[in-house]
Chain A
Amino acid sequence: MILLLLQIGVIAAVAFYLVRWRSAVRRRNAQTWDSLLARLRPDWSARELSDHFLWKEGVNATPEDAWMRMEGPKGLWVMYQNARVLLEMADYADRNYSGVDRLLLETLRSDAMQIRVCVLMALGQYAFSQASEGVRVNAFRAASMYADMAARMTQLLQANAAAIVPDFVAAM
């Protein structure tokens, strides 16, 4: 009986997961530029890490400084969530504006994936060893990739959809 309940529970969980995935995909298909901007987390900005954030790649901080300025795991989690939104913004620009550079799009996808992996590694290490050297190095790598991705995103929007750049800069 317990096995049956367990099996039914797992199948129900799979069904629930598939329904949630479907709803998320449909919501994503219907989203507008404004809804994307609204999804960017405003409670921390990577401007803390670079004087030329959004306009130039790289960060002006050591791993220790970066960890302090990103307020530890809070900044990491914001980067994790915003990386996904930035990727969806790139897709949105690709769908709605012609001539978006394919290589730039591919790089943004790769950035988003790497940032998320790096953040998850840093958060995993943080859970076991607090702010050790390894955590700070991984967080710095994530922050650096995040700044690069944001600069590339600005470049993509400037080249293809200059009218929406001011909103993007304000939201970031």
Chain B
Amino acid sequence: MTPDGLDTTIWLAGVSMELVLLALLVHRRIFRVLPIFFVYSVCCLGSEAACWFILRYSPGSYLRFYLVDMTADFLFQFAILAELAASVLRHNRGIRAGRVLLALLMALSCTLLWFLAKWVNPSGLPLDQMLYVILLQAFAVLRVAAMLAIVWWSSLQGLQWPERELRVASGLGFYSVVCLAVIVLHTHNMDGTQYHWLDQIQAFSYFCVLSYWVLFFAKKEPNRRNIRP
């Protein structure tokens, strides 16, 4: 299979899985409990369609579109993590939200990851391409940092996670870590083929996350309360 053929296959598989996931989210009425996650799934599908349309009819404006798209994607993922945290709080009674603690943990995880990153600042690139690289790196770090902050916060408070929220968070966490690894590897002067393989691995990991969510939402959710001893 040629690289282009593999790209198309992964892309089509991803879009198909997004469609299945959306159908399951509607069927299970997830928009009632996780509305931001639901809207995000709709927007992902819309973004794929817009992407295809722009690449076909106006490839010159693709980068500008992608800058907006990746920013929206990051903000959505951030909002989903906040939604999951709120849902976990509702599930655990007698908890104070601890927003200051959460903000401190977020600052701590950002600092740790930022020192690790040691980014190579792009120079000599046009403004939009430079912005693209900087945003890509910043969002990759912030996504993992937000995930770590929520994990530390819930561990410190000894919170219990409902299965559904845990699955959504696990998928997001896995994808965020893969994105960060790919972006870190991209900064180490790889040749074109290796660079592209990493992109394909990232796209395939997104497909895996979608499949993981589809498998979970396809099953009937078990009763949330345990059986008495």
Contacts and interface: CB of A to CB of B under 8 A. Distances in A.
Contacts of B154: 25
Nearest to B166: A25
> Would you call the interface of chain A mostly helix, strand, loop, or mixed?
helix
A26 B166 contact: yes
Contact of A32 (B95, B177, B229): B229
Contacts of A6: 116
Interface residues of A, number: 40
Contact of A7 (B95, B118, B144): B118
Contacts of A95: 160, 225-226
Interface in A29-50: 29, 32-34
Contacts of B229: 32-34, 96, 164
Contacts of B177: 11, 14-15, 18
Interface residues of B, number: 35
28 contacts: A4-B184, A7-B117, A7-B118, A8-B184, A10-B116, A11-B181, A14-B144, A17-B151, A18-B148, A18-B170, A21-B151, A22-B166, A25-B160, A26-B166, A29-B160, A32-B226, A87-B158, A91-B158, A92-B226, A96-B229, A100-B93, A102-B93, A102-B94, A103-B94, A104-B94, A106-B95, A109-B158, A112-B158
Interface of B: 92-96, 116-118, 144, 147-148, 151, 154-158, 160-161, 163, 166, 170, 173-174, 177, 180-181, 184-185, 188, 225-229
Given A14-B144, A25-B161, 19 more contacts: A4-B185, A7-B116, A7-B184, A11-B177, A18-B147, A22-B166, A22-B173, A26-B166, A29-B161, A32-B229, A94-B94, A96-B226, A100-B93, A102-B94, A103-B94, A106-B95, A109-B157, A113-B157, A164-B229
